[in-house]
Copies of this chain bind each other. A is one copy, B any other.
Amino acid sequence: MSVNTFGRVFTFTTWGESHGPALGATVDGCPPGVALDEGWIQQFLDRRRPGSSKFTTQRQEADRVRILSGVFEGKTTGTPIQLMIENTDQRSKDYGEIAQAFRPGHADIAYHLKYGIRDYRGGGRSSARETAARVAAGGVAQAVLRDLAPGLRITGYMVQMGELHLDRANFDAAAIDANPFFLPDAAAVPAWEDYLNAIRKAQDSVGAAVEVLVQGCPAGLGAPVYAKLDTDLAAAMMSINAVKGVEIGEGMAAAALTGTANADEIRMGNEGPRFLSNHAGGILGGISTGQDIVVRFAVKPTSSILTPRRTIDRRGEEIELITKGRHDPCVGIRAVPIAEAMAACVVLDHLLLDRAQTGGRRGRIG
């Protein structure tokens, strides 16, 4: 199968480079008869779009999506949906040095070693622009989930940026879309702004951690043992540019816990089992239990910084390099809508895969 395809039965295949004429995603396996238009998908792209605040790259891309196939008279037909985004701001410039040098922390050297050739313009295929295609695909998934799992809701937000951590006592979902950090704590926003401004002025960048919450996810999704729901979520998040760690529920902190502390005890609620805690992050044995699914991941600091770093070029010459250009001081911010999109695709994929095997019937309790 294509190494640029994600998913098992609801799949998408992305294509395109940062500075090529266009990029896009081919979504396949989509249920037919689902209402879908460009406006619906655009709302997801707009959340990710560069240039939306001073904390994201000033590259001006409309990121206008076109549906080229698979939708007829406003509904999906069950055939492949081609989502194309044309690159409009491919600023013409001299790539002289970047074309030859390997920027530290970037994929430049790895692509060169593997392929012997690389599209050096803006990082080519390794650019985070590829994630626009994922977000568009996620928009399709969200349209289907709206029909098939009406109570399901996917919410991403920042929980850490460098030294700053979300104070969970202040968690307020309503705040998330009202600040440039996707931060669920309005009161903390000024401090985050000051911090990131300082980072930027220091010609530096900073890492971040993002959490995605899936509420209302049906029980029974996930197919042990190599298509576990957490396995696929981990792959989904780790495939996002610059991600270095993924956690489910307690995540790495589980290493410090005892079994008595970690057990999510169960009582009987009105509508089925009721868990007294959620250390597991909503997944047991690779299968969703109906609890909230909690995924968290870390994004490394933007590698493109104005502070000079030592590196080499293709001839093997040792040089110092400053990466000019329009770069986010914290790429983790824009990872929020990308991660929501990936989560939507994983959940829908497993909802359909489960429907294939079990017909969506559920074992009863009581």
Contact = CB atoms under 8 A, between A and B. Distances in A.
Contacts of A22: 68-69, 82
A292 interface: no
A366 interface: yes
A138 to B, nearest CB: 14
A145 interface: no
B32 A117 contact: yes
A2 to B, nearest CB: 4
Give the copy number.
Answer: 4
Interface in A31-72: 31-33, 66, 68-70, 72
B220 A119 contact: no
Interface in A348-363: 352-359, 361-363
A358 to B, nearest CB: 6
Contacts of A284: 105-110
A11 B303 CA distance: 32
Nearest to A226: B6
A17, A21, A224, A332 — which one has the most chain B CB atoms within 10 A of its CB? A224
B77 A117 contact: yes
B276 A116 contact: no
Nearest to A9: B356
Interface string A136-175: 0000000000000000000000001111000000000000
Contacts of A307: 259-260
A226 B25 CA distance: 13
A229 to B, nearest CB: 9
A361 to B, nearest CB: 7
Interface residues of A, number: 163
Contacts of A314: 365-366
A205 B256 CA distance: 11
A107 B107 CA distance: 39
A239 interface: yes
Contacts of A288: 110
B262 A207 contact: yes
A332 B304 CA distance: 38
B116 A366 contact: no
Interface string A249-285: 1111111111111111111100001001001110111
B105 A262 contact: yes
A81 B14 CA distance: 10
Given A205-B259, A363-B112, A72 B32 contact: no
6 contacts: A9-B357, A13-B80, A78-B114, A116-B361, A125-B224, A251-B298
